[in-house]
Structure 1
Amino acid sequence: MKNKIIISTMFLLAALDVNAQKISVENNVINVGQVLYRVPVKAEFKLKNKGLRSLHIQDVETSCGCTTADYPKTVGGGNEFAISGEYNAETLGHFQKMLCVYSNGSKKPVVLTIKGVVVSELRSFSGEYSYTLGNLKTDVHNVEFDNVNIGDNPKQKIYILNTSEETAEPVFMHLPNYLEVEMYPAKIAPHHTGVAVLSLDSKKLHDLGLNQTDIYLGFAPGDKVADEKMITVSSVVLPAFQNLTAKEVADAPKIKLSTDLLDLGSFNGKNKLKGDIEIKNEGKSVLEIRNLQMFTMGLDVSLNKTKIEPGQSAKLKITAYAEQIKNIRSKPRVLMITNDPSMGKVTIEIKVKK
């Protein structure tokens, strides 16, 4: 009888071992390299539940209050998942921050490590300072925040070179309330470089589609606004489709364009050029063109209908004007916001020879 009990216990332990949780990690250590001072950096670790049962994550402890973690509570058997850690970069110098993952998948915590170095200036920029804005040069004169969802806080960088013989204290003028800028360093010595970090608060943007504004880069506080110091900032806010059910997605509209690159040819002395694009709905419900905008001046658009029934088409007419097109600083494009979950944003590039 005792032998039977021992044998039964062995079989039970073996069965438990078969169903035991096992966590695999693609890379336990992520080196994020150089990070700007006070610009938070995020690292995402890819893991997998190699067990047959659900994995339950009780907690992810970080090595200090300067690091936060985001993780799923439950992961099905055999499924992949991600754990992200964000370091606030409040201290200059090298850093190594750990995340300890406690779960029913292992007796000991799984340790993930984020490492890098916080600097006051990114010195690895190898691009060109192609644009002159007074006594400063920059790598861009158009900044785009693309595919923004409400709640996002994306950031973009502008690299700046001081070409003068005086110390610059760059200042950004005419900032709207949804934009903030931080300079690293605050003052740039003659013939030295710095970087401006633009942060966008999407909660302060209320309209879907394209939002554009012009800001101005001054050499120091008290500098005057001038066209030669202008930087255009664009953001495209997308409609929310995250909460759609599988059936709603299956029954959704589906947009198809005859082309997303419209070549209008050369002006050759003409005042304007015209072209058409066919928009077809290949989905199961009404396609809505919720917003139709131009990224640049010099274009005129008209759409014969904004609601397209399944199987039906609409015609988008586009006109380019020679006098205005010759003065634009970026490629002419048309933006559409739709209710197609797979293509909420549609960008059409317009090609012309000036």
Structure 2
Amino acid sequence: MKNSLYAALLTNLLLAATAFAAPELTVTEPTYNFGSITQGKKVQHNFVIRNSGDAPLHIKEVNVSCGCTAAKPSASQIAPGKSAEIQVVFDSTSFSGKVQKSVAVISNAGKAPNYVLNMEGTILEPLQYAPRQVNLGALKAGGSKQATVSITNRDNQAVRILSVTLTSNTLQLKTSMKKSELKPGETGAIELTFTPRPDAKVMSGYLHISTDSAQKKELTIPVYASVAK
């Protein structure tokens, strides 16, 4: 009788221990800040994940937030106390300014079966320009308005401004610039003078700045104005 009770008790203890055994996913650095990079570059980072539980950790899925990001685990199963890596590559070609991209790691972890990793930083356009649009305000017939567009070369080689043109049925353009070639880190200004065409009622168009930059062949800036009463 006693042997049966001992056996039952032992079985219950083993079942309880098995029931409480669970894998746990922990990450020392869940967010990686890559700082500032030039648009078009790729960033690669390996997130180290660890199984801090007492059962095997199974990586079921690794899902990325967009097609600009790729992620791949170094192992699909991690033993208790062991570590693996999630390699994440972010392509910055289509982005500018501050960005954050996430990677969801789906596993059998007890407390955090859906764990999110983040990559963040700032994307600098090879040619930064301002303003992003030109608002001329109110224009009188026969009058003119001036505006300035500044361009900063963030690339690692010199960039030449090849031409400045305007696509518009209602505005005419004259340009002037002191520098047609910008060295890395250098800023130049384009002086613009807009004149409305006769009988123009709604004034708008697009400014096109062509360059020899391999990364940014053309800058397109909307232009608009209203008719002064």
- TM-score normalised by structure 1 residue count: 0.34
The structure having more radius of gyration, on CA atoms, is: 2
Higher relative strand content: 2
- TM-score normalised by structure 2 residue count: 0.50
Higher relative contact order (CA 8 A, sep 6+): 2
